[in-house]
Amino acid sequence: MGTTTQQSSRTTRSRKAPGAKSAVVPTVVPTPAQKVAARNKATGSVQVKGVELKRLNGEIVTSNFAFRSLPDDRKNQVVYFGFDSDSNAAIFILDCASSTVVKLLGEVGGKDEGCERMRYISSDGTQVARAFPDLEYTSAVLVYMGTERLLLSFGGRRVSPKEHANPVVSSFFLFDIDRRTWTEVLTEGGIPLPRVSGTGLWKDSRFYIFGGQVPGGQEELELARSYSVLAPVGKLVGGSWTITWVWIILDKPNPDGVPSLGFMSGFAFCNGGKDVILLPGSLTRPKNDLVYYRDYTPVIYNFDNDSFTILGSKGDFQKLPDEVVWYHAMPPPTKSLSAKLRPFKGLDLSGKPRTVSFLMRTGTDEPGEEGEKAMVSRLWAVSVAQDVQIQEINIHTHLNRLSIEHGVEFHGFATVKGTMYLIGESVVAGDDKDYVAKVLL
């Protein structure tokens, strides 16, 4: 049974002015809710109707950094690649319609209860009992190749680095989610540098990997100022077609003046998918992994020309909280959100009125009761053209209320089939339940 928080609204009766005749049309008095909505739209804060909270059927473990939300509009699902509560590498599939989670593990490790197993296929086609790779901060994307749904993962850092000579890897894994098989793929076109926390995205059947960190001197990691592109290539082998994965761009240096994209940076497609804006990641790797927007220059990459453009103005990025613990960027949802936004200033690059390029959800630690820090989530509609313009979508009051009433903190965020979802977990002692919150526009 779901719990819904909603904005209160009240209708007011119209009254005749003293001495007026019955033919006088009564004055329409805005309700308090309408006044708030008008004020918020004028100031750029968009109201939502409420947030519906439901308990999840099944386990899903969200954390600040180990996850990327990988939405699947075809199946109304969200896929996560991370670790379960017993620290086993796992894939979680959240079905948004039923609020049910399927957990996938390799054939070795973890408990059988509450999970399904995936078979490892070696390069010669034989099956081998093997656990999932224990990697964090990988570059992962969810793609369809025909009817097959695949999770692609490159790089990452081993969770137990002391047990391995090279904790950062350049391995490429392919997980066939629906067939429940997975394999490590040997690529062609060279050997890329081991890379951790790179930004992975899929465009026109190519796997792009930007930024992150690569090995530096004295066994230290340094920020990567380079990018790579991996593509599937069909080849005729032994009378049948087979897919070979080839690096068509390998650790290509960023042009002069284009900075590193930082640790765990994000991205969002814009300009009709012709470009992608590469969003801020941590410029360093501090213990608290904070993202400093004010110190960062956003970069736009054009796929057709393989070129970078540095935004001349950071624009409304300056208005975001000083320190953002983590964030997610997602495609904008339904037209109902656009109707609530005030018009963005100016035109887009094609000369049309500007629209929402993407949604960005941020999380910050802010002082709470008795000196403890509380996780505060905020949501923003972002428009990218010659500059960056941002309007806030006011969900934090709802989430704060749910946090107080139910003890839930939210880490995951995704838009699936035009609907916004936040995924969280209980922080109440003795309650190990996970939750999903649906944003009602």
Q: What is the pLDDT of residue 348?
A: 81
Task: Say what the pLDDT of residue 105 is.
Answer: 95
Neighbours of 239 (CB within 10 A): 5
Whole-number pLDDT of residue 203: 95
In a 3-state reduction of DSSP, which class is residue 335?
helix
Reduced to 3 states (helix: H, G, I; strand: E, B; else coil), residue 346 is coil
Q: Give the closest residue to 361 by CA, choosing from 322, 290, 415.
A: 415
Model pLDDT, residue 325: 61
How many domains are there within the chain? 1
Which pLDDT does position 139 carry in this prediction?
92
Q: How far is CA 167 from the centre of its chain?
A: 25
pLDDT of residue 3: 61
Cβ distance 54 to 436 under 8 Å?
yes
Contact present, 390 and 347 (Cβ < 8 Å)? no
pLDDT for the residue numbered 195: 94
Alpha carbons 90 and 133: distance in angstroms, whole number: 9
At residue 242, the pLDDT reads 82
Element (H, E) at 406: helix 396-406
Question: Low-confidence residues of the chain, pLDDT below 50?
Answer: 7-27, 32, 36, 65-66, 285-289, 371
107 token code pair: 């054939």
* In-domain check, residue 94: yes
Beta strand ranges found along 9-88 (DSSP E): 45-47, 50-55, 70-72, 77-83
- 208: its two tokens: 């792009």
The answer to the question of residue 267 being in a domain is: no
- Residue 178 is encoded by which pair of tokens? 């629906």
For residue range 211-257, list pLDDT tens digits in order.
988 988 766 888 899 999 999 998 666 666 788 999 999 999 999 98
Q: Which of 375, 372, 415 is nearest to 393 (CA)?
A: 415
Residue 3, both tokens = 């719990």
How far is residue 144's CA from residue 226's CA, in Å, rounded to a whole number?
A: 27
Could you tell me if residue 75 is inside a domain?
yes
- Asked whether residue 302 is domain-assigned, the answer is no
DSSP one-letter string for 254-281: PPTTPPP--BT--EEEEGGGTEEEEPP-
CA 413 to CA 196: how far, in whole Å? 22
Query: 40 near 32, Cβ under 8 Å?
Result: no
Rounded distance, CA 48 to CA 383, Å? Answer: 19
pLDDT for 66: 42
Contact yes or no for 172/245 (Cβ under 8 A): yes
In a domain, 119, yes or no: yes
Q: Of 409, 390, 389, 391, which Cα lies nearest the Cα of 399?
A: 409
Positive or negative: CA dihedral 319, 321, 325, 327: negative
User: What is the reported pLDDT for 24?
Assistant: 43
Q: Answer for the pair 414, 424: CB distance below 8 angstroms, yes or no.
A: no
Per-residue tokens: 51: 């947030």
Per the structure, the complete domain to which residue 122 belongs is given by 66-196
**256 within some domain:** no
β partners of residue 46: 393
The total number of residues written for the chain in this structure: 441
**Phi-psi map region of 204: left, alpha, beta (phi>0 left; psi -120 to 50 alpha):** left
Within a domain: 154: yes
pLDDT score, position 281:
66
Q: Which two tokens stand for residue 402?
A: 């749910």
Question: To which H or E segment does residue 340 belong?
Answer: helix 335-340
What does the alpha-carbon distance between residue 58 and residue 287 come to, in Å, rounded to a whole number? 31
On whether residue 138 sits in a domain, the answer given is: yes
Residue 66 to residue 61: CA distance in whole angstroms: 10
| CA 195, 86, 291, 81 torsion-angle sign | positive
Query: What per-residue confidence (pLDDT) applies to 373?
Result: 54
The per-residue pLDDT for 19 is: 44
Contacts of 382 (CB under 8 A, 6+ apart): 268, 316, 329, 356, 357, 358, 359, 360, 388, 389, 390
CA pair distance 308, 227, nearest whole angstrom: 12
